[in-house]
Amino acid sequence: MMLLGLLLVLGLAGLALVAFMDNDGLFTASVGSVELFGYDATLSVGEVFLIGAAAGALLLVGLFMLFGGAGRRARRRMAARRELQAQRAENLALKRKHDTIATELAAQRAAEAGAADAEREVEAARAARDAKLARDAAEAESDERVSTR
C-alpha cells in the first residue's frame, strides 16, 4: 500500500511539473502542445488548472495511502513490541517461580537428608548404647563368674 501511494505521488509530481513548465499564457490562452507518454494535447490555461486540481486531489489520495500504510505498520510494530514485552515479563515471572520452587525443593531435600542423617545418628547411638549395654552385661556376667569361683 505504501509503495503504491509513493508511486502515485511521484507520477503526479512529474505530471504537475510538465504542466507547469508548459504554462506560459493567460487563463484562456493556449498553453501549447503537451506531450506525455507519446500523446500530444493542446491545452488552455483553464484546462491546465483543472488538471492541476485533479493532480492535487490524487496527490492527497496518494499521501493518505502512504501515511495510512505507515501508520498501520507502526501500529503492528507497537503491538508486536508490547507482545514481546509481555512474553519477556511472563518468562521472567516463570523463571522467578522456577527459582523459588527449586530453592524450596533443595531446602526440603536438605531437611529430608538432615532428618535421614539424624535418624542414622539416632540408630548409631542406639546401636552404640546397645553394644555398651551388651558389653556391660557381658562384663557383669564375667565378674559374677569370677566372683562365684
For position 82, what pLDDT does the model report?
93
Residue 44: pLDDT over 70: yes
Which single residue is written with the C-alpha cell 502515485?
A: 8
Domain count, the chain: 1
CA atoms within 13 A on the CB side of 133: 6
Q: Which domain holds residue 119?
A: 2-148
For position 66, what pLDDT does the model report?
85
Using CA atoms, how far apart are residues 21 and 17, in angstroms rounded to an integer? 6
Residue 20: pLDDT over 80: no
Residue 25: pLDDT over 60: no
Residue 146: pLDDT over 70: no
Could you give the C-alpha distances from 22 to 25, 54, 97, in angstroms and in order?
9, 17, 75
For position 148, what pLDDT does the model report?
58
For position 83, what pLDDT does the model report?
93
Question: Is residue 48 classed exposed, middle or buried when 0-12, 13-18 and 19+ CB atoms within 10 A define those classes?
Answer: buried
pLDDT in tens, 73-128: 888 999 999 999 999 899 988 988 888 888 887 777 777 777 767 677 767 777 87
Average pLDDT of span 48-53 = 80
For position 64, what pLDDT does the model report?
87
- Give the dihedral sign, CA 126/127/130/135: negative
pLDDT in tens, 52-78: 888 888 888 888 888 888 888 888 999
